[in-house]
Amino acid sequence: CQTQTTVNNPLKLGDRQTKPPHSCHYNMEMLGAMFVEAAKDMPDTTWEQEKKNGTMYFGKKEYVPASRCYGFAITRLKTIKADAMPEQEKCLHLMTCFANRAMALLKLKKWEEAADDATCSIAYHRKLVNKFKRPESLIYFKALHRRAQAYEALGEIEDALQDWFALTKSPPEFEKVIGKEVQARIISLSQKLKSESAEGGVH
């Protein structure tokens, strides 16, 4: 279901929803050994408990421990072997934990890290849709929303605008929450992009 946004997308950039993260630190093909090593220094808790702790800290507006706990949950999940958790279930939990940590990082104004985590969440969502034929998740749109904010804070206007346009396809329950913001950001960033293009053409 689309919002009432009527601004046309001037970018024509294609689907950037699987754009690589800023840093290879989050490259999912390179994480295995790193997460196994990191797990050695972690508390002796389960990923479920760490995710719960992260949510508890977030609710208290303690964003540093929240992001740390979500990180512990991600590390625990990444080290779970295939015979202990089905791949589809693991992707679902990782999608959620990365999206949660992206929100905590936004609160800490760690824009690049937030964009990276949101991108990872989106990548896991795409895997769930493409490989396991799952429907689009609300978590996906939340991750898009967080990445749009992070990109905008980083001054990456085209990327931010692309994500804001993607959010015009949010499900009705989320559109009610962010619809006006989406429309406002699209108009504002479109005007800014147009202005920058005009200034770039003046000699």
What is the rounded CA–CA span in Å between residue 90 and residue 124? 9
* pLDDT for residue 147: 98
Q: What angle do CA 115, 113, 154 make, to 5 degrees?
A: 60
In the predicted model, what is the mean pLDDT of residues 30-54? Answer: 70
Phi, psi (deg, nearest 5) at residue 62: -100, 85
What is the rounded CA–CA span in Å between residue 108 and residue 49? 22
Percent of the residues in the chain that have a pLDDT greater than 90, as a whole number: 74
pLDDT for 98-143, tens place per residue? 999 999 999 999 999 999 999 999 999 999 999 999 999 999 999 9
Percent of the residues in the chain that have a pLDDT greater than 70, as a whole number: 77
What is the rounded CA–CA span in Å between residue 83 and residue 171? 34
* pLDDT for residue 48: 97
Q: How confident is the model at residue 9 (pLDDT cuts 50, 70, 90)?
A: low
- Whether the per-residue pLDDT at 40 is higher than 50: the answer is yes
pLDDT for 54-103, tens place per residue? 999 999 999 999 999 999 999 999 999 999 999 999 999 999 999 999 99
